[in-house]
A and B are shown apart, each in its own frame.
Chain A
């Protein structure tokens, strides 16, 4: 039986080559100038470039606002969907999940066209509304999943012991559903903070987010600066994923 641990070997080689080495290369390129000499210049450039810093701050702001709105709109929806007394139809759940299976660019494009047709000025407002459109299902689904699997006897016990429905909700159901909220936050915040095409569509290229700057630098051959910016983003992602101590939730929210 033990010999079969060697079966992991091809994948280990694959992971080292296509996951570990590329990430190391980001670091290597980030600390090099165009001629391959070691430098902190790329980071100095970023921290002294007010445009880049402002874009960076704006990206964080948009991502936080989007995540907050998704929780605000999505939690009640997930709660209702998971409550058998309020929702008996399996079709509504499918309708909420379905957008996750559709190409995000297509959905965004449809949204942007609708804004356009309604005569809305494309800008920060449409950017945030459009992002909520795109990411709401990714918030609803993990929360719904965890609420649906939750043992109902906890809530019943709380109300038997005299808790009001409101107390049952805040003191029992919300704390127990936190893992779902956290994986929802991961699935909404991380893509929003790193997006590039979506923000371009929704603002008609008027507003640049951090992802767009990375893409522009990489595509125009400024690999070293692009790598440095990617490293900055990796740090943000690293900090966010510390939120989530249990890695199992990531895949639970996905299917």
Chain B
């Protein structure tokens, strides 16, 4: 009985939570411009999305492209910068370490809008014209702390003697780094990279303040401007549906694998 109520609550909550996306998904199969207005089954919005023949021209496509390219660059640079930094921080002591950890926490604790406004003021102050480069720099700023925090625990767990042993056995510091340290840090780097990538994909506020006035759009800023103009581009409906399904399938696969691995280990 208790189990029934528990399951009932969980599924009720899920149905309510997922109602909007189901609604979008259903209406991605009709052509009408206004949501909620069913004008017969059609997959035209889907084909439009792939051929690029859509309402509002190709600006949605370029926004998607910008989003992915920026996320890729930001995540890659953050992973490299953050990993090197984590090795440095791990080898530091006392005040200096505290100070860096404190600074490293700020972008994570700060609300996006503060990060955005503060970086906007920085670029104004330095007279840097804002666009692609400033957006990428801003994304690296809020992504790197997550990489640092993903890699640091791997360093703490590591037995320092392993690295020393490699050096004693004649490895150069570079070989020791490549053959001993990096493989041990890899899981942390990968989860840091994934985290950074998704943070960047998801960002709206920071991009909004640092993109300048040259009309650079990522998916978030595109949606924002689009929705403010009153009408949502119909092709966003199939796109939202595809993204939801893609991420859902990915997460379910990852989690089922994890569960299976845990069961096998036990």
- A51–B81 Cα distance when bound, in Å, is 44
Other-chain contact of B24, A98, A113, A193, A195 (Cβ < 8 Å): A113
Once the chains are docked, how many angstroms separate the CA of A227 from the CA of B252? 43
Chain A residues near B112 (CB, 8 Å)?
A: 191, 194
Contact call B232/A4, Cβ cutoff below 8 A: no
| Interface residue range, chain A | 35 or more
Interface residues of A in 140-199 (CB under 8 A from B): 190-191, 193-197
Determine the distance from Cα of A4 to Cα of B106 in the docked complex, in whole angstroms: 24
In the bound complex, do residue B228 and residue A250 qualify as a contact, i.e. CB atoms below 8 Å apart? no
With known contacts A90-B256, A230-B114, A106–B91 Cβ distance under 8 A: no
Partner of A105, one of B14, B96, B224, B259: B224
B172: Cβ under 8 A from any A Cβ: no
Q: Let me know if B119 and A109 touch, CB within 8 A.
A: no
Asked if A101 and B92 make an inter-chain contact with CB atoms under 8 angstroms apart, the answer reads no
Complex Cα distance A211/B116, Å?
11
Which of A1, A17, A105, A223 touches B220 (beta carbons < 8 Å)? Answer: A105
Bound complex: CA A76 to CA B10 (Å): 9
Question: In whole angstroms, what is the CA distance A2 to B164 when docked?
Answer: 12
Known: A19-B103, A93-B255, A117-B35. A14 touches B81 (CB 8 A): yes
Closest CB in chain A relative to B16 CB, distance in Å: 8
B17 interface residue (CB < 8 Å to A): yes
- The distance in angstroms between the C-alpha atoms of A22 and B112, with both chains bound, is 13
Q: A86 to B240, alpha carbons, bound, how many Å?
A: 32
Residue of B nearest to A74 (CB): B13
CB distance B251 to A98 under 8 Å? yes
Q: Does B118 contact A (CB under 8 A)?
A: yes
How far is A12 from B114 in the complex, measured between Cα atoms in Å? 20
Q: Which residues of chain A from 1 to 24 have any CB-CB distance to chain B below 8 Å in the complex?
A: 1-2, 4-12, 14-23
For A77, what are the chain B residues with a Cβ–Cβ distance below 8 Å?
9-10, 13
Contacting pair A18 B232 (CB below 8 A): no
Q: Name the A residues within 8 Å of B36 (CB-CB).
A: 113, 116-117
Chain B residues, CB < 8 A from A234: 110, 114
Given contacts A80-B6, A98-B247, contact A133 B20 (CB under 8 A): yes
Q: Are A218 and B209 in contact (CB-based, < 8 A)?
A: yes
Interface residues of B in 1-60 (CB under 8 A from A): 2-3, 6-7, 9-10, 13-14, 17-21, 23-24, 35-36
Q: Which of B118, B240, B244, B251 contacts A22 (CB 8 A)?
A: B118
A189: min CB distance to chain B, Å: 10
Q: Which of B19, B85, B163 contacts A114 (CB 8 A)?
A: B19
Q: Which residues of B223-259 have CB atoms within 8 Å of chain A's CB atoms?
A: 223-224, 227-228, 232, 236, 240, 243-244, 247-248, 251-252, 255-256, 259
A106 proximity list for chain B (CB < 8 A) = 223, 236, 240, 243
Q: Which residues of B contact A81 (CB under 8 A)?
A: 10
Nearest opposing residue in chain A for B247, CB measure: A101
Q: Is the CB of A110 within 8 A of B24?
A: yes
- Would A218 and B88 count as touching, CB distance under 8 A? no
B122 at the interface (CB under 8 A from A): yes
A85 to B2, CA, bound (A): 10
CB-defined contacts of A8 to chain B, threshold 8 Å: 84-85, 87-89, 91-92, 100
Q: How far apart sit A60 and B247, CA to CA, in the bound complex (Å)?
A: 33
Contact B243 A102 (CB under 8 A): yes
Are A105 and B118 interface neighbours, CB within 8 A?
no
Partner of A237, one of B100, B110, B248: B110
Contacts of A57 in B (CB 8 A): none
Q: B106 contacts which of A23, A214, A227 (Cβ < 8 Å)?
A: A23
Q: Looking across the interface, which residue of chain B has its beta carbon closest to that of A198?
A: B204
Decide: A250 and B105 in contact? CB cutoff 8 A: yes
Distance, CA A138 to CA B215, complexed state (A): 32
C-beta contact mask, B133-154 vs A, less than 8 Å → 1, else 0?
A: 0000110110010101110000
Does A11 contact B107, Cβ atoms closer than 8 Å?
no
- A-B interface, 9 closest residue pairs, ranked by CB to CB distance from nearest: A8-B88, A11-B85, A7-B88, A22-B118, A194-B111, A110-B20, A117-B36, A86-B6, A5-B91
Extra 17 A-B pairs, beta carbons < 8 Å, given A7-B87, A14-B81, A87-B7: A7-B88, A18-B141, A77-B10, A87-B6, A97-B251, A98-B247, A101-B251, A105-B223, A109-B232, A114-B19, A197-B204, A214-B117, A230-B113, A230-B114, A241-B109, A251-B150, A255-B191
List 18 interface pairs A-B (beta carbons < 8 Å), by A numbering.
Answer: A1-B91, A4-B88, A5-B92, A15-B103, A90-B259, A91-B252, A91-B255, A98-B247, A105-B223, A107-B20, A107-B21, A116-B36, A194-B112, A200-B228, A215-B208, A227-B117, A233-B113, A251-B108
